[in-house]
């Protein structure tokens, strides 16, 4: 797990940031270089300037230079009682193993008006907990800050400042990796004098919450690493095969497996961020702290989701996902968990759900998580449903074998739901949420369901199975039908559902389908603000004809039809009159044919949307 630490620094404690850092990262411009070098001792400064000359470094955008060997100047300091603060920092700078100077595009910052702190402070004051405020709500307070096109790059990309800055930070952290600089112990410090504090890039980035979010999100993304199971991390699955006495609420433990899993997921790193305290008002400090908390909660959620998605199917089974849901409920007193086992699912008539799992040796489960905000116990919840097919062989409609191993990612939607609820509980958002983890294993044996089968779903509607590889919609349809009993304000399902979504949008945007224009618009806006975009597709009546069956109410795949839209049409029939949206994340939750490619999307989009809903509940 990687994290970020914040220090409100002055001349006496600024150096604490460097205590455990392998590399100090200094963002600079040609105009700021001289004032930043002021903090180094004269011999060290001379050495750095020589390195600059050798490398042709002037602090221009995209330029970087790595300076090593500053410890050689550690003994060259003299006592300076009149400038003891500078002298102390200079001595500490000599302890840093490496210093990397990186030129940034400061024109963007200069063109962007500072956000309206007083306006945001009033928003903060309306809540009992600053964590209830959506980062994206105050990111949009200043249109000039968020949609600035003042630089040539912005004009070319026509991108919001948040997305533009994240791209620049992506380039920075990729550069660090190319120089073999580890991201595990990185310090980012405002090296400014009293006169230059307002123009230091680090202070300026922190003053604009979208910029700070872009920095943190890029660091977390590039700092993530799944350790895996090599050598001493070998493990044996603890998941139980199905038997007549299956009880998903009492999953057996296997110490060796759990230890192996913990070792595989245990990877730590820290970004230490030191800001000049005098440059920020109290309102700005609260906003910075909130942004740090929001992004840290988001990162923890995405890290957990990615870790789960990367786990092999013999370890991450439906029982294991149920166990994770239980653990989440035990961690937060605002979260509770009920788990429906196969017996309960059968009694409920979840026949489409159970058909998917019929050929598996592992039992299907359906964990139901409830996050309840204080004072909103009787308010309608937002229902999130995540597809959790722990492995998708395609069933009898068998997938092609070369890339079948990547079907461990077919439970990414379920991982997203777990992560979102963890983030919401961490932030204490003022909203009620029900999360359903629709978990099964699409395998093959004599009991597996077949093409041509007619299945009566939970809703009572009948489905003719055309393809057993269209299993996700069978699973999700029953879960959507079941969720309507909670009288939700909206239902949002998240599923790696169709390859057609990848054909249409690639790996850049999530495919969005909805029967409610207001919900569709809200999700598109949330995705834009979170830089986790989705794109709406139509569900016109003309498209419904493709799944008409001669033998049942509908087929589970269309004939000569756009696959992603046909899947959306199928699911829409089970939402009926409830506001509903379907996020097909087949192209964004992971990259098909690429190992260790889980992204944690669309958690940023959903957390942005839910935070906006929480703000409305506060008003």
pLDDT in tens, 264-314: 444 467 888 888 888 899 999 999 999 999 999 999 999 999 999 999 999
User: Which tens digits make up the pLDDT trace of 346-370?
Assistant: 999 999 999 999 999 999 999 999 9
Per-residue pLDDT band for 227 (boundaries 50, 70, 90) equals confident
Strands 462-464, 454-456: pairing is: antiparallel
pLDDT score, position 454? 98
Of residues 179 and 139, the one with the higher pLDDT is 179
pLDDT score, position 279? 84
pLDDT at 87 over 70: no
User: Which tens digits make up the pLDDT trace of 557-610?
Assistant: 999 899 999 999 999 999 989 999 999 999 999 998 888 999 999 999 999 999
Per-residue pLDDT band for 472 (boundaries 50, 70, 90) equals very high
pLDDT score, position 441? 98
What HEC string does 387-437 produce? EEEEEECCCCCCCCCCCHHHHHHHHHHHHHHHHHHHHHHHHCCCCCEEEEE
User: How do the domains of the chain map onto residue ranges?
Assistant: 2-112+148-223, 333-618
Check 88, 185, 399, 461 and give the catalytic one: 399
Q: How far apart are CA 299 and CA 280, in angstroms?
A: 25
pLDDT at 239 over 60: no
- Find out whether 570 and 582 touch, Cβ atoms under 8 Å: no
In this prediction, residues 447-463 reach a mean pLDDT of 98
pLDDT score, position 82? 42
Q: What is the mean pLDDT of the chain?
A: 83
**Catalytic annotation on 399?**
yes
pLDDT score, position 16? 65
pLDDT score, position 108? 61
- Find out whether 226 and 264 touch, Cβ atoms under 8 Å: yes
Contacts of 373 (CB under 8 A, 6+ apart): 334, 379, 428, 429, 430, 431, 432, 614, 617
Strands 580-584, 490-495: pairing is: parallel
pLDDT score, position 236? 41
Query: What is the DSSP track for 183-227?
Result: SSEEEEE----TTTGGG-HHHHHHHSHHHHHHHHHHHHHHH----
Per CATH, the homologous superfamily of domain 333-618 is Zn peptidases (3.40.630.10)
Of residues 112 and 484, the one with the higher pLDDT is 484
Give the other-Cβ count within 10 Å of 142's Cβ.
Answer: 21
pLDDT score, position 517? 97
Per-residue pLDDT band for 521 (boundaries 50, 70, 90) equals very high
User: Which tens digits make up the pLDDT trace of 147-195?
Assistant: 233 333 333 333 467 888 888 899 999 988 888 887 888 888 887 665 5
Helix then strand then coil, % of the chain, to nearest 5? 45, 15, 35
pLDDT at 77 over 90: no
pLDDT score, position 608? 96
Return the minimum-mean-pLDDT range out of 176-190, 392-406, 448-462, 553-567.
176-190
Check 135, 473, 484, 601 and give the catalytic one: 473
Q: How far apart are CA 550 and CA 452, in angstroms?
A: 12
Q: How far apart are CA 104 and CA 62, in angstroms?
A: 6
**Is the pTM here over 0.75, yes or no?**
yes
Return the minimum-mean-pLDDT range out of 31-45, 188-202, 423-437.
188-202
Say which residue the tokens 């199975």 belong to. 465
The CATH-assigned architecture of domain 2-112+148-223 is 3-Layer(aba) Sandwich (3.40)
- Find out whether 580 and 490 touch, Cβ atoms under 8 Å: yes
Q: How far apart are CA 311 and CA 300, in angstroms?
A: 17
Of residues 94 and 535, the one with the higher pLDDT is 535
pLDDT score, position 151? 35
Per-residue pLDDT band for 338 (boundaries 50, 70, 90) equals very high
**Catalytic annotation on 240?**
no
Cα Rg, the chain, nearest whole Å: 26
């Amino acid at each position: 797990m990687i994290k970020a630490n914040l220090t409100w620094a002055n001349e006496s404690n600024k150096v604490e940031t460097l205590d455990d850092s392998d590399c100090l990262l200094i963002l600079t411009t040609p105009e700021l270089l001289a004032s930043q070098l002021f903090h180094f001792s004269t011999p060290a400064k001379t050495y750095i300037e020589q390195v600059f000359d050798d490398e042709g470094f002037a602090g221009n955008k995209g330029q970087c230079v790595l300076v090593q060997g500053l410890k050689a100047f550690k003994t060259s300091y003299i006592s300076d009682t009149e400038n003891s603060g500078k002298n102390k920092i200079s001595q500490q700078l000599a302890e840093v193993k490496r210093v990397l100077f990186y030129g940034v595009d400061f024109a963007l910052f200069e063109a962007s008006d500072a956000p309206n702190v007083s306006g945001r402070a009033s928003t903060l004051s309306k809540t009992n907990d600053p964590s209830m405020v959506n980062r994206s709500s105050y990111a949009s307070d200043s249109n000039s800050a968020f949609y600035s096109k003042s630089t040539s790059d912005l004009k070319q990309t026509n991108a919001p400042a948040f997305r533009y800055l994240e791209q620049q930070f992506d380039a920075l952290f990729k550069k660090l990796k190319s120089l073999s600089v580890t991201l595990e112990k990185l310090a980012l410090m405002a090296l400014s004098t009293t006169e230059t504090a307002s123009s230091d890039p680090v202070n300026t980035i922190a003053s604009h919450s979208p910029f700070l979010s872009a920095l943190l999100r890029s660091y977390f993304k590039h700092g993530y690493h799944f350790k895996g199971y090599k050598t001493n991390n070998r493990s044996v699955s603890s998941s139980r095969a199905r038997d007549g006495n299956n009880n998903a609420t009492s999953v057996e433990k296997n110490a060796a497996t759990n230890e192996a899993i913990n070792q595989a997921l245990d990877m730590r790193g820290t970004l230490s961020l030191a800001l000049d305290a005098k440059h920020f008002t109290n309102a700005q400090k609260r906003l910075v702290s909130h942004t740090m908390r929001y992004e840290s909660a988001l990162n923890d959620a995405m890290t957990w989701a990615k870790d789960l998605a990367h786990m092999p199917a013999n370890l991450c089974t439906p029982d294991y996902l149920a166990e994770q849901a239980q653990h989440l409920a035990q961690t937060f007193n605002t979260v509770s968990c009920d788990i429906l086992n196969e017996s309960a699912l059968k009694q409920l008539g979840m026949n489409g759900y159970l058909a998917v799992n019929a050929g598996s040796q592992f039992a299907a489960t359906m964990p139901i998580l409830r996050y309840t905000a204080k004072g909103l116990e009787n308010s309608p919840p937002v229902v999130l449903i995540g597809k959790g097919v722990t492995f998708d062989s395609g069933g009898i409609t068998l997938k092609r074998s070369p890339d079948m191993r990547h079907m461990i990612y077919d439970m990414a939607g379920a991982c997203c739901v777990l992560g979102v609820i963890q983030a919401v509980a961490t932030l204490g958002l003022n909203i009620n949420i029900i999360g359903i983890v629709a978990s099964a294993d699409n395998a093959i044996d004599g009991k597996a369901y077949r093409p041509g089968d007619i299945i009566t779903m939970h809703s009572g509607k009948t489905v003719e199975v055309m393809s057993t590889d269209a299993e996700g919609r069978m699973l999700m349809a029953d879960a959507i039908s079941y969720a309507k009993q909670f009288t939700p304000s909206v239902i949002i399902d998240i599923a790696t559902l169709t390859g057609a979504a990848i054909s249409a949008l690639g790996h850049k945007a999530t495919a969005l389908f909805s029967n409610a224009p207001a919900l569709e618009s809200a999700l598109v806006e949330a995705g834009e603000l979170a830089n986790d975009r989705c794109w709406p597709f139509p569900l016109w009546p003309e498209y419904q004809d493709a799944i008409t069956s001669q033998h049942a109410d509908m087929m589970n795949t269309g004939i000569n039809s756009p696959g992603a839209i046909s899947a959306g049409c199928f699911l829409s029939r089970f939402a009926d009159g409830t506001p509903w949206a379907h996020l097909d994340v087949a192209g964004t939750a992971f990259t098909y044919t690429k190992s260790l490619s889980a992204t944690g999307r669309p958690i940023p989009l959903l957390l942005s949307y839910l935070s906006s809903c929480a703000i409305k509940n506060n008003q």
